[in-house]
Structure 1
Amino acid sequence: MAQVAFLDNLLREYLVFRGFSSTLKALDLEQRTERDQHFRAERILEQFTYAVQTYDLHGLRSLWLHLDNNLFTKLDHTYAVAVKKLENSLLKYYLVTAYSNHKSEKISEFFNKMAGELQQQSEWKDWFYFPFCKNAEESPSFALYFTKQWQDTSLLSLRNFLTTVYQCLPQPSFVRAEQEAAHMQRLSEDNVGLRSRLLQAQQELQQQAQQQPVSGSSHNLSGDANTRRRSVYRHQQSLNDILPFDISPPGHIVDDFCIIASEANSVGQASDAQARGLKLLIRNIGSGSSPVLGRKDHAAGSVGDKSTKRRSGSVGRSWI
């Protein structure tokens, strides 16, 4: 990639400026032997293998932690089990290699540094017996890990895993420096443009507010008048303020028992008046001077005199 080549030149310039001649020679040597500019899982696998064969536990752990923090932690949580299994296989490969080459001090160093971390894992329960085991390659617990098939399979699985997850590998900050600078420049330009648009919008709002005070005040006056009218109208239509014109309010409170008693008295008076009327009617019938018959005779005698006159008054008025 052109960007990687550009950064290589910057790095070379920095090494020359600092006087790191041996580092510059190593960089030139690795660049000449490099077949391509792309990431290759074989290179990381070679670093792991070199750390195991040189019994460099610190280098092995540092490289794995670097990949774990920058690559493996960004994967989906479903890959956590596979990552942990590959790490344990790499550490077991380190112990088997040290045992095969009779490096018992490296095995003791391994457990002294890693015991606090490994004792909480059930998978490593039998491995704490490994430093004291004689003929471990023949033990049922460890014989599998001394076979070439298991070792090659473990390294191949690690290589395939690194190749698969390389697509998720973020670029180093040194490589992204130029892109980040261009991105920050674009953000600054966008920020300036947005600030100018905001200032222009605020000025337009101020001008509109200065042009509308008169119309706004007249509108407020008319609105206040309408409000007063509505309030007066509501006040006149209130039921609490309306009093009957012809009926004066009672001076005292009348209870229900008084009302019932007065209704009973009025009913009794009406029945007495009706009884007196019937007695009078019977008396008149018995005496031969009926008020109805007398009215009919009087009406027949006065028909000729009052035929042209309109009769006034009410007919059939109650005689009781």
Structure 2
Amino acid sequence: MAQVAYLDNMLREYLVFRGYSSTLKALDMEQRNEKDQHFRAEHIIEHLNTAVQTHDLKALRALWLHLDNNLFSKLDHTYAVAVKKLENSLLKYYLVTAYSSNKSDKIAEFFNKLGGELQQQSEWKDWFYFSFCKNAEESPTFAQYFTKQWQDTLLLSLRNFLTTVYQCLPQPTFVRAEQEAAHMQRLQDDNNRLRTRLLQLQQEQQSQASGEGSSTRRSSSRNQQTLADIMPFDISPPGHIIDDFCIIASEANSLAQASDAQARGLKLLIRNIGSGSSPVMARKDAASGDKSSANKRRSGSVGRSWI
């Protein structure tokens, strides 16, 4: 890949700048022996197998820890069991190889460094007897680990697993450095454009607010007028300036006068009846007196005329 070749040149330039001549020679040698320009899982298997064959426990642990921190930790939790099983199988492969090479000191070093960690796992319970076992290759517990079939199966499974992991994992940050830089530049440009747009909107809002303030001041100045500036409305006066309250008062006065007159008449009538000088009775007495005198005159005249 062009991106990988470009980064290889950058790495070589950095090594020259730092003076890492041995590292630069190793890099050049590996690049000449490498057919492809991408990472291959076989290289990891070769490094692991070399650490096992040379009984380099420190290099083996360091390489596996690097893979665990940078590759296996990014996998789904369902792969944790498979990763742990491969690690234990690789450590057992290390012990079997050391036993076959009569490296009892390497076996003792192994349990001294990793005994406290491994004793918590039930899978390793029988392996603490491994350093004291005679003819371990014939023991039913350890015999299968000495077979070439088991060792080849382990290396093949580890190669397939690493190949699958590297196909699924994203490219390292160092490989994506240029892409990340371009992405950051695009984000910065978008940020600047949005900031400019925000400033424009704020200026428009301020201008609108100032325009509304000036119009408000103009309207308030127009509202501040004197009484002399107010023109009266041309409304013709009513024909009779009499309100309803005046009409109601006059009607009430006329009704009061009528009721007073009626009350006085009733009082006079009652007083006349009580004194016996009723006008009605007086009229009746006068009428009866007139009739008796008339009768007397008629009788007298008749008598006198008769006599």
- Tell me the equivalent position of 2:41: 41
Note the C-alpha offset of 1:140. Answer: 1.1
Question: What are structure 2's unaligned runs of at least 5 residues?
Answer: 220-307
Look up the SS of the partner of 1:39 in the other structure.
coil
Note the C-alpha offset of 1:122. Answer: 0.6
Between 126-135 and 171-180, report the one with greater CA deviation: 171-180
- Tell me the equivalent position of 2:198: 198
Residues 52, 94 of structure 1: 8 Å contact kept:
yes
Residue 55 of structure 1 pairs with residue 55 of structure 2: yes
Which stretches of structure 1, 4 residues or more, deviate above 6 A after TM superposition?
A: 214-219
- Tell me the equivalent position of 2:208: 208
- Tell me the equivalent position of 1:4: 4
Residues 15, 24 of structure 1: 8 Å contact kept:
yes
Look up the SS of the partner of 1:172 in the other structure.
coil
Residues 137, 146 of structure 1: 8 Å contact kept:
yes
Write the distance in 1 (CA, Å) between the matches of 2:54 and 2:170: 30
| 1:273-311: CA deviation from partner (whole Å, max 9, x where unpaired) | xxxxxxxxxxxxxxxxxxxxxxxxxxxxxxxxxxxxxxx
- Tell me the equivalent position of 1:64: 64
Look up the SS of the partner of 1:212 in the other structure.
helix
- Tell me the equivalent position of 1:138: 138
Write the distance in 1 (CA, Å) between the matches of 2:216 and 2:99: 95
| 1:230-249: CA deviation from partner (whole Å, max 9, x where unpaired) | xxxxxxxxxxxxxxxxxxxx
Residues 72, 83 of structure 2: 8 Å contact kept:
yes
- Tell me the equivalent position of 2:82: 82
Amino acid at match of 2:194: L
Write the distance in 1 (CA, Å) between the matches of 2:71 and 2:64: 10
Amino acid at match of 2:173: S
Identity of aligned residues (%): 79
Write the distance in 1 (CA, Å) between the matches of 2:213 and 2:6: 64
Write the distance in 2 (CA, Å) between the matches of 1:186 and 1:48: 42
| 1:35-65: CA deviation from partner (whole Å, max 9, x where unpaired) | 1112211111111100101111111111111
Write the distance in 2 (CA, Å) between the matches of 1:214 and 1:29: 80
- Tell me the equivalent position of 1:103: 103
Note the C-alpha offset of 1:217. Answer: 9.4
Residue 27 of structure 1 pairs with residue 27 of structure 2: yes
Question: What are structure 1's unaligned runs of at least 5 residues?
Answer: 220-320
- Tell me the equivalent position of 1:116: 116
Residue 158 of structure 1 pairs with residue 158 of structure 2: yes
Write the distance in 2 (CA, Å) between the matches of 1:193 and 1:107: 65
Write the distance in 2 (CA, Å) between the matches of 1:161 and 1:23: 29
| 1:6-54: CA deviation from partner (whole Å, max 9, x where unpaired) | 1111222223333333322222211111111122111111111001011
Note the C-alpha offset of 1:128. Answer: 0.7
Write the distance in 1 (CA, Å) between the matches of 2:143 and 2:98: 15
| 1:108-158: CA deviation from partner (whole Å, max 9, x where unpaired) | 111111111111111011111111111111111111111111111111111
| TM-score, with length taken from structure 1 | 0.65
Q: CA RMSD in A?
A: 2.1
- Tell me the equivalent position of 1:286: none
Note the C-alpha offset of 1:98. Answer: 0.3
Note the C-alpha offset of 1:213. Answer: 4.2
Amino acid at match of 1:108: A
Write the distance in 1 (CA, Å) between the matches of 2:179 and 2:7: 12
Amino acid at match of 1:24: L
Amino acid at match of 2:111: F
Inter-CA distance 208–48: structure 2 relative to 1 (3 Å threshold): same
| TM-score, with length taken from structure 2 | 0.67
Residues 4, 38 of structure 2: 8 Å contact kept:
no
Between structure 1 and structure 2, the one with the greater Rg is 2
Look up the SS of the partner of 1:175 in the other structure.
coil
Write the distance in 2 (CA, Å) between the matches of 1:66 and 1:21: 24
Amino acid at match of 1:25: K
